[in-house]
Amino acid sequence: VPGFVSQARGLAPERIIRLEEDRVVCLDQRRLPDAEVDLECRSAADVAAAIRALAVRGAPLIGVAAAYGYALAAARGEDLAEAARELGATRPTAVNLAWALREMRDSGSDPAPLAERARAIHRDEVARCRAMAEHALTFFDPGSRPLTHCNTGGLATGGAGTALGAIVLAWERGLVDTVLVDETRPVLQGARLTAWELHGAGVPFALIADAAAPSLIARREATHVFVGADRIAANGDTANKVGTYPLALAAAGTGVPFVVVAPSTSVDLATSEGADIPIEERPADEVSERYEARNPAFDVTPAHLITAIVTEAGVSRAPFPQSLREAAA
């Protein structure tokens, strides 16, 4: 795909997801790390199904996927309003989806410019990842042992990643000793996807049970917590994969920096605070196929527990209502 800058390490953006003439092709993340299998989506409905099933996930990447799905719908002569409705309804928490679909709707209905607009959204996400990682370097010192949650790498963004992109860049600069990775139940994005990416990049890491993270932070075996975001409210409250909030509680109680790394496309100035962010409840059988279960997929970390929010625009700190407005401008 022309226009992509190649990645020194990690996944090529077009390996993660790409638009072809009559299909959207993406790496099926449900099969990783056991198999690297492409999933071919032949309609916007196929793309929506891939997002719902977590074959494609990660807030920035689902924005890219929705843009490609919309462009595919235009190429196939599908009803674009219906395609946008179906793509937009797949995941309620992340805001990137709604943003990408607005961008596409504002680009008319002709297939060629829509395909170009979708690829530009993907290229921009790649560029934002690079900028975020550079800005986040300021938090690392030699010997850092960052802890991270879920997957925020290439597989979550289509670029180099948000929090994980920053960690990998810091490791390349000699600033990281080892990485602690939450396995991230129930879907195990940490144990499957982050482990696969770090292993591929040659970065030393150890998986941990999610519930072990707070005590490892309290014992200062982790020196920093870096996470992504599905939606950042105007006041800095941040929705992210469930299990992020306990990391912030432990970090705040211990004086360990808790840093959110996310593109400005994840900042939602129209949502004033975390309580207004819808929290997706996913199917119970992801938790247990045998017994009753509850499965909230996200939690909200209140702004007062967050040390900084890094976007492609730079490092935002409290008071977030001001700094985020500037970052998202």
Q: Tell me which residues are annotated as active site.
A: 230
Site for a second copy in 225-264 (CB under 8 A): 242-243, 245-246, 249-250, 253
Measured distance CA(60)–CA(11) in Å, rounded: 15
Question: Using CA atoms, how far apart are residues 32 and 110, in angstroms rounded to an integer?
Answer: 35
Residue 132 or 250 having the CB closest to a second copy:
250
Closest CB to a second copy among residues 159, 243: 243
Count Cβ atoms within 10 A of the Cβ of residue 221 and give its class: 0-12 exposed, 13-18 middle, 19 or more buried. Answer: middle
Least CB distance to a second copy at residue 242 (A): 5
Among 15, 30, 31, 33, binds a second copy (CB under 8 A): 33
Around Cβ 303, how many Cβ atoms within 10 Å? 23
Residue 53 CB, nearest approach to a second copy (Å): 18
Among 59, 66, 170, 300, binds a second copy (CB under 8 A): 300
Beta-carbon-side half-sphere exposure of residue 254 (alpha carbons within 13 Å): 22
- Number of residues near a second copy (by CB under 8 A): 43
CB of 5 to a second copy, least distance (A): 29
Identified binder of a second copy from the candidate list 173, 296, 325, 326, rule CB under 8 A = 296
278 sits near a second copy (criterion: CB under 8 A): no
SS3 74: helix
Q: How far is the CB of 305 from a second copy (least distance, A)?
A: 9
- Stated as kind and residue range, the H or E segment containing 315 is strand 314-316
Question: Sheet containing 24-27: which strands, arranged edge to edge?
Answer: 17-19, 24-27, 38-41
Using DSSP bridges, classify how beta strands 231-233 and 238-241 pair: parallel, antiparallel or unpaired: antiparallel
Which is nearest to 19 in space by CA: 59, 57, 95, 73? Answer: 73
Query: Is the CB of 184 or the CB of 264 nearer to a second copy?
Result: 184
Least separation in angstroms between residue 135's CB and a second copy is 27
Residue type, 215: S
Selection from 58, 59, 56 nearest residue 69 by Cα: 56
Closer residue to a second copy, CB minimum distance, 119 or 149: 149
Two tokens at 302? 């209140």
Residues 98-137 that bind a second copy (CB under 8 A): none
Nearest to 33 by CA among 153, 145, 158: 153
CB of residue 12 vs a second copy: minimum separation in angstroms? 23
Tokens of 182: 């939450």
Residue 5 or 209 having the CB closest to a second copy: 209
If the CB atoms of residues 108 and 204 are measured against a second copy, the closer one turns out to be 204
The region of 53-61, 100-108, 129-137, 182-190 touching a second copy under the rule CB under 8 A is 182-190
* Pick 63 or 243: Cβ nearer a second copy: 243
Judged by CB under 8 A, the residue of 11, 50, 126, 180 near a second copy is: 180
Q: How far is CA 36 from CA 197, 206, 207, 274, in A?
A: 12, 22, 21, 36
Taking the C-alpha atoms of residue 112 and residue 109, their distance in angstroms, rounded to an integer, is: 9
Q: Pattern 187-216, binding to a second copy, x per CB under 8 A?
A: ----x---x---x----xxxxxxxxxxxxx
Query: To which residue do tokens 């986040």 refer?
Result: 136
Among 295, 314, 318, 321, the residue binding a second copy under the rule CB under 8 A is: 295
Shortest CB 248 distance to a second copy, Å: 9
Q: Which residues bind a second copy (CB under 8 A)?
A: 33, 180, 182-186, 191, 195, 199, 204-216, 218, 242-243, 245-246, 249-250, 253, 284, 287-288, 290-296, 299-300
